[in-house]
Amino acid sequence: MPPAPPADFLPARHPWDTLWVNAHLATMTAGAASPYGAIENGAVAAKDGRIAWVGPLADLPGRAEDLAASVQDAGGAWITPGLIDCHTHLVFGGERVTEFELRLTGASYSEISRAGGGIAHTVRATRAASDDTLYTLAARRLTALMAGGVTTVEIKSGYGLDLEHELRLLRVARRLGANFPITVHTTLLGAHALPPGVNDAPGRARYLDLVCDAMIPLAAAEDLADAVDVFCEGIAFTPEETARVFDAAQAQGLAVKLHADQLSDTGGAALAARYQALSADHLEYTSDDGLDAMAAAGTVAVLLPGAFHMLRETKLPPIAGMRARGIPMAIATDCNPGTSPALSLPLMMSLACTHFRLTPEEALAGCTRHAAQALGLGASKGQLAVGFDADLALWDITRPAELAYWLGGNACVGRVAGGRLD
C-alpha cells in the first residue's frame, strides 16, 4: 500500500456542486414575509440534486469558489422554482383544426362531441399512430413546455380508450420521463369518454368494467400510473360512474383527481373532495357547496385558462370563493388537441390574470407551490428552500410580475432540473 498523500495534495472538497450568484430569487416559499418570497441579490446552491443553500448573497458562508465546484453567474436573472404543469394530455395523434374552424362558425364543443367528433376523433388518430410517432409528437410538445421553464409535468392518457392503447400512452409518457431532463407524473384517464362506437347502456357498463377491473389494476401492477382521473360531465361520465372508478383506483393505492364542473355543475368538486382527491380541475360551474367540501378536504383547485379561452367560455370559475376559503389555486396548460392546444405555461399565467383576475403572484404560486401540491409533491417541489429538489427556472425580467405580463415570447433564459443545467 502506498502511503496516503498529504492532505494538501487532495483535490479541494466543495460542500456544494453548483452555486448560482448574481441573481434575484422568487423563492415562493409558503408563508414568506415578502411578496413572492423575494430575495434580491440572492444566491442558491445545489448538492446531489437538492437545494443546499438559499439566501442573500451577502450571507454566503464563505467565498463562492470555495463553496461550490461550479459557480454560475446568472447575469442578474430572476430565479424561480422550475415551473410545474400539473394537468396535460400531452400524448395524442393528429390535431383538431377542422373542429376549431367549426367552433369559430358557431358549433359548440358539446355538439361536436355528441356528433362523434371531439375526443373520439383524436382517439381514432391516436390508435392509428405508432408508439414512435406518438413519442416524437409528444416530445416536440414537451420540448416547447420545457423551453418555457417547466421542470415537472403531469401527463394523462385518455385518447386510447381501450386496454391496449391506454397502457401504451402511459408507457410513452414514462419513456418521455426517462429520456428528458424533467419529472413526469402520469395519470390514467381511461374514463375520459366512451370509446367510439359505444353508445348503449350495456356497452357503457362493459367499458366501465374494463376501466375498473383491468386498466386500473394493470396500470398499477406495471407502475404506469401515479394517479387516476375521470371526466365527470354530461357528455362523459356521471358522478356515480366516477365514484366507481375512484373506488377501483383507491383499492390499488392510487391517488385520484377529477375533471370537474367544466361545462355544467354535476357536483364534481364535492365528489372529488369526498375522495380526498389531490385536485379538482376546471371548476367553472362549481357551487359554494363544492368549494366548502374542497376546502375541508384540502383539494387543490386547478384552473385551466387555456380551455376557458379557447372555448370562449363566459362562466368564470369562482375565484373569490376559492380565495375566501383559502383553497390553493394551481394553473396548468391542459395541453390537448380539442380545447387547449397550449404549449406555454407562462402564457397560461397571463390568461389566468387577465380572464380570472388572479394576481401575478397567485399565478406564479399556481405554477409552482400549488401545482406541486396538486401532484402530491408539495414537500419536494415548487419552492426554493433547503432540501427541496434543485429544479429552477431563470428569467430575463425586471420583476416577478413580468412573468404573467408577456403574451407569448419567452423570457426563460435557463433551466435546471435536479441540479443539472440544460
Interface positions with Fe ion (CB under 5 A): 334
Instruction: Please give the annotated binding residues, written as ranges.
Output: 87, 89, 96, 159, 192, 259, 262, 334, 336, 338-339
Query: CB–CB of 28/384 below 8 Å?
Result: yes
Is residue 336 near ligand DI6 by the rule CB under 6 A? Answer: yes
Strands 78-81 and 392-395: antiparallel
| Residue 307, contacted partner among Fe ion, ligand DI6, none, CB below 5-8 A by kind | ligand DI6
Q: Are strands 38-47 and 16-26 parallel, antiparallel or unpaired?
A: antiparallel
Transcribe 215-233 into DSSP letters: IHHHHHHTT--SEEEEEES
**Which ranges of 97-234 would DSSP assign to H, the alpha helix?**
97-104, 109-114, 119-128, 131-147, 163-179, 201-210, 216-221
**CA–CA separation, 180 and 354 (whole Å):** 32
Site for ligand DI6 in 163-222 (CB under 6 A): 192
Annotated binding site for 4-imidazolone-5-propanoate: 96, 159, 192, 262, 339
Q: Which of 201, 202, 256, 214 is nearest to 232 (CA)?
A: 256
Count the Cβ atoms, other than its own, within 10 Å of residue 321. 19
Q: Which is nearer to ligand DI6, 249 or 390 (CB)?
A: 249
- Please report how close the Cβ of residue 66 comes to Fe ion at its closest, in angstroms: 49
Q: How far is the CB of 88 from ligand DI6 (least distance, A)?
A: 10
Using CB under 6 A as the binding rule, whether residue 80 contacts ligand DI6 is answered as no
Q: Which does 175 bind (CB under 5 to 8 A by kind): Fe ion, ligand DI6, none?
A: none
Q: Which of 183, 339, 344, 373 binds ligand DI6 (CB under 6 A)?
A: 339
Residue from 27, 151, 152, 262 that binds ligand DI6 (CB under 6 A)?
A: 262
Distance of CA 172 to the CA centre of its chain: 17
The region of 31-39, 47-55, 118-126, 271-279 touching ligand DI6 under the rule CB under 6 A is: 118-126
Q: Judged by CB under 6 A, which stretch of 1-9, 62-70, 141-149, 334-342 contacts ligand DI6?
A: 334-342
Residue ranges for the known binding site for Zn(2+) are 87, 89, 259, 334
Residue closer to ligand DI6 (CB basis): 15 or 196 = 196
Detail the DSSP E strand segments found in 261-338: 279-282, 300-303, 329-331
Q: Which residue is nearest to ligand DI6 (CB)?
A: 338
Q: Is 117 in the site for ligand DI6 (CB under 6 A)?
A: no
Identify whether the C-beta of residue 310 lies closer than 8 Å to the C-beta of residue 118: no
| Pairwise CA distance, residues 277 & 269, whole Å | 9
**Helix (H), strand (E) at residue 63:** none
Neighbours of 104 (CB within 10 A): 9
Which of 148, 337, 360, 382 is close enough to bind ligand DI6 by CB under 6 A? Answer: 337
Q: Does 257 bind ligand DI6 (CB under 6 A)?
A: no
Q: Tell me phi and psi for residue 124, to 5 degrees.
A: -60, -45
Closest to ligand DI6 by CB, 123 or 372: 123
**Which member of 93, 268, 321, 338 binds ligand DI6 (CB under 6 A)?**
338
Q: How far is the CB of 338 from ligand DI6 (least distance, A)?
A: 2
Could you tell me which stretch among 64-72, 77-85, 206-214, 333-341 binds ligand DI6 (CB under 6 A)? 333-341
Q: Classify residue 178 by burial, with Cβ atoms within 10 Å: 0-12, 13-18, 19+.
A: exposed
Binding-site ranges for ligand DI6 (CB under 6 A): 118-119, 122, 192, 231, 259, 262, 307, 334, 336-339
